[in-house]
């Protein structure tokens, strides 16, 4: 397992275009996501820094990238392993005109964007695990953390944080996650350019986000369900106070998972860890 001692690193901001092999700005064909980039060799959390930038008024599409994170986190404040020189840790500032109640749609949209890119890099198909994981072969390769700030009944900004395992070797994963995690390198047996992958990701996310803004959530929902492949499957949902079981019917306009329970009652699942019955690795 790689360890990082932040006190030995020079914490400073870089212009990504000045890094030796980092011409990501030239690789991004879009006009929104990635036009403003802040790169750091180490941050506590890209989401935290992106939130600061958004609060200071940085425009929609601003991107934060860190070579490593000292306090990388996922959903429910779980630790996200973030060693240097291996993976992609990035956050995007969005300012959509949406109500706070439907903001979780952006988590699903980001998942579709990531799955689109991974499907071009990996031979095995990418799958989406509700609500915020991307998997290859039933193993986690990406986590998404979406956070927002509201002003009254409207969204001020949304931060979409994305962590993708790119060049991690199996023996570099923490032993608790070694058998349930993977990376692009583990799947392809080749290192991937983090700069090229970042450019591909931002381009993909811009396409998905533009679809979302112009056509609404429905095409995103359809794409997400295509990648998730869980409609009609029997699942178990582990929640802090109970365990629920049921058959998946889909997701609603708020991003909630819809299931029929054993009594054939429709239930909305807003949070929890989901697994297929008889399969603990995938939903």
Q: What pLDDT is stored for residue 111 in this prediction?
A: 98
User: Which tokens is 78 given?
Assistant: 């779980």
pLDDT in tens, the chain (283 residues): 222 333 333 333 444 444 433 456 667 777 899 888 898 988 999 999 999 999 999 999 999 999 988 876 655 455 556 678 899 999 999 999 999 999 999 999 999 999 999 999 999 999 999 999 999 999 999 999 999 999 888 999 999 999 999 999 999 998 888 999 999 999 999 999 998 999 999 999 999 999 999 999 999 999 999 999 999 999 999 988 899 999 999 999 999 999 998 888 999 999 898 999 865 444 4
Q: What pLDDT is stored for residue 225 in this prediction?
A: 97
**pTM of the complete model:** 0.87
Q: What pLDDT is stored for residue 164 in this prediction?
A: 97
What CA dihedral angle connects 149, 204, 125 and 77, to 10 degrees? -20
User: Is the Cβ–Cβ distance between 50 and 93 less than 8 Å?
Assistant: yes
Domains located in the chain, CATH noted: 6-228 (3.30.930.10), 234-276 (2.30.30.100)
Q: What pLDDT is stored for residue 25 in this prediction?
A: 61
> Hey, which bits of the chain come out as E strands?
13-14, 37-40, 63-66, 88-94, 126-129, 133-136, 139-151, 154-164, 234-238, 243-251, 257-260, 266-269, 273-276
Q: What pLDDT is stored for residue 5 in this prediction?
A: 31
Q: At what angle do helices 194-215 and 218-228 cross, to 10 degrees?
A: 130
Q: What pLDDT is stored for residue 62 in this prediction?
A: 95
């Amino acid at each position: 397992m790689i360890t990082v001692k932040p006190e030995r690193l020079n914490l400073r901001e870089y212009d990504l275009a000045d890094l030796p092999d980092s011409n990501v700005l030239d690789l991004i064909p879009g006009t929104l996501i990635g036009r403003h980039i802040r790169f750091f060799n180490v941050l506590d959390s890209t989401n935290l820094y992106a939130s600061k930038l958004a609060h200071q008024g940085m425009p929609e599409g601003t991107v934060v990238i860190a070579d490593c994170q000292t306090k990388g986190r996922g959903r429910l404040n779980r630790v996200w392993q973030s060693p240097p020189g291996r993976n992609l840790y990035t956050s995007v500032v969005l300012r959509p005109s949406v109500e706070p109640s439907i903001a979780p749609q952006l988590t699903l949209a980001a998942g579709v964007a990531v799955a689109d890119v991974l499907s071009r890099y990996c031979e095995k198909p990418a799958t989406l695990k509700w609500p915020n994981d991307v998997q290859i072969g039933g193993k986690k390769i990406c986590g998404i953390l979406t956070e927002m700030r509201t002003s009254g009944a409207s969204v001020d900004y949304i931060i979409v944080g994305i962590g993708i395992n790119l060049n991690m070797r199996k023996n570099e994963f923490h032993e608790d996650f070694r058998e349930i995690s993977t990376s692009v390198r583990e799947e392809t047996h080749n290192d991937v350019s983090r700069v090229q992958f970042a450019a591909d990701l931002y381009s993909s996310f811009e396409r998905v986000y533009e679809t979302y803004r112009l056509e609404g959530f429905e095409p995103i929902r359809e794409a997400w369900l295509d990648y998730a492949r869980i409609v009609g499957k029997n699942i178990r949902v582990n929640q802090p106070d109970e365990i629920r079981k049921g058959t998946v019917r889909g997701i609603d306009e708020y991003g909630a998972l819809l299931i029929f329970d054993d009594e054939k009652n429709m239930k909305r699942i807003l949070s929890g860890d989901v697994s297929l019955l008889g399969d603990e690795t995938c939903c």
